[in-house]
């Protein structure tokens, strides 16, 4: 195990120096490696046997077959190498996902001259295939990933590989051009005893309005009141007719989603609860603020505010000194 770890470390250091990380990389001879595939090795073994047979029996027909197949291998080497040579690979922006959900890491391939075929990308976390790239055109490949942890998910180095056209030779490289993928906390609804949404939302100031969405209360029916506002269950019970009074949120007391609402709770679970509250508030189109030890945002509402709040949760770093020591 020690020897394997040492060899892996040396290999990573060497490949990093030879092919450093970049936002965009054009593959040249220095970045490409080529070697016969299993089928190619089998064909080479067959050629060796045929060559020995031809020499032993001085058979010109077998000699011709050996030279013909050897020529095919040589041509295949050039074609396979040219399929990756001078192709440009660049990372694209990735849409953030929640922890535990399937997301995608995207790459763009650009071919400057001739068409390219069957270029694959793979590592231990993802894989993808580009079947065709037009000359002087580009193609996109999206590799599915499923990050389990909140924060910045880096796909790392990918093996870009091709055995086009005959599968006899394999040409490959190790590239690190993927843009990172931000992972939001996994939303988890807080337990009823810990859920402070109800308490916070009752502090909102409501004002009566005919166009409101919230129930403000009831009042006695007066001639001219809209029939659709009559509270029919009370009429059915034999009580005097009542009319429902609607209200609007005046917005004077916006919802505060505070990190300190859950002292003593595990950090990731706490962030998951806050994430669920942000999503719930955004779904209800409420004005809310997110308060973390590292900073705050809001009060505001809307899709942009939601994404900014979720990104704050994704980027939050563990700073025990800023938490007052309540989670130690």
Looking at the fold, whether 70 and 189 belong to one and the same domain comes out as no
Q: How far apart are CA 36 and CA 274, in angstroms?
A: 54
Q: Are residues 166 and 38 in the same domain?
A: yes
**What is the model's pLDDT at position 296?**
87
163 and 226 housed in the same domain: no
Are residues 175 and 190 both part of a single domain? no
- What the block records as the tokens of 286 is 């409420």
| Residue (of 296, 124, 270, 114) closest to 188 by Cα position | 270
Compute the distance between CA of residue 68 and CA of residue 163 in angstroms, rounded to an integer: 20
217 and 199 in a single domain? The answer is: no
Q: Are 196 and 279 members of one domain?
A: yes
CATH of the domain at 74: 2.60.40.10
What is the domain extent for residue 229? Answer: 206-249
Tens-digit pLDDT profile for residues 193-214 = 444 443 444 344 444 444 445 5
Residue 127: closest CA among 110, 109, 142, 138:
142
pTM exceeds cut of 0.85: no
Number of structural domains (the chain) is 3
Please list the pLDDT of the chain residue by residue as tens digits (328 residues): 678 778 888 888 888 889 888 899 999 999 999 999 999 999 999 999 999 999 998 889 999 999 999 999 999 999 999 999 999 999 999 999 999 999 999 999 999 888 999 999 998 889 999 999 999 899 999 999 999 999 999 988 999 999 999 999 999 999 999 999 999 999 998 876 444 443 444 344 444 444 445 544 556 666 666 666 676 676 666 666 766 655 555 545 678 888 888 888 889 999 999 999 999 988 888 889 999 888 888 788 888 999 999 999 999 987 655 444 444 4
């Amino acid at each position: 195990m020690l020897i394997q770890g040492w060899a892996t470390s040396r290999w990573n250091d060497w490949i990093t120096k030879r092919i450093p990380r970049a936002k965009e990389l054009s593959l040249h001879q220095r970045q490409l490696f080529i070697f016969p595939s299993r089928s190619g090795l089998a064909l080479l073994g067959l050629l060796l046997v045929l060559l020995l047979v031809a020499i032993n029996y001085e058979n010109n027909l077998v000699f011709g077959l050996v030279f013909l197949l050897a020529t095919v291998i040589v041509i295949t080497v050039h074609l396979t190498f040219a399929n990756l040579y001078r192709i440009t690979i660049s990372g694209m922006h990735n849409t953030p996902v929640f922890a535990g959900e399937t997301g995608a890491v995207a790459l763009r391939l650009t071919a400057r001259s001739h068409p390219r075929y069957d270029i694959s990308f793979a590592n231990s976390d993802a894989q993808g295939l580009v079947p065709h790239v037009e000359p002087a055109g580009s193609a996109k490949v999206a590799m599915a990933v499923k990050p389990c942890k909140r924060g910045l998910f880096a796909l790392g180095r990918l093996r870009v590989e091709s055995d086009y056209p005959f599968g006899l030779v394999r040409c490959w490289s190790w590239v690190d051009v993927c843009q990172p993928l931000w992972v939001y906390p996994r939303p988890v609804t807080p337990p009823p005893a810990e859920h402070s949404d109800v308490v916070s939302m009752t502090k909102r100031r409501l004002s009566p309005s005919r166009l409101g969405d919230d129930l403000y209360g009831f009042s006695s029916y007066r001639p001219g009141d809209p029939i659709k506002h009559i509270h029919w269950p009370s009429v059915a019970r034999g009580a005097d007719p009542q009319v429902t009074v609607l209200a609007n949120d005046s917005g004077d007391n916006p919802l505060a989603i505070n990190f300190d609402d859950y002292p003593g709770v595990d950090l990731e679970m706490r962030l998951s609860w806050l994430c669920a509250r942000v999503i719930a508030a955004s779904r209800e189109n409420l004005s809310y603020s997110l308060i973390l030890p590292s900073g705050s945002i809001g009060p505001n509402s809307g899709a942009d505010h939601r994404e900014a709040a979720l990104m704050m949760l994704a980027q939050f770093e563990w700073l025990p000194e800023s938490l007052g020591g309540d989670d130690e």
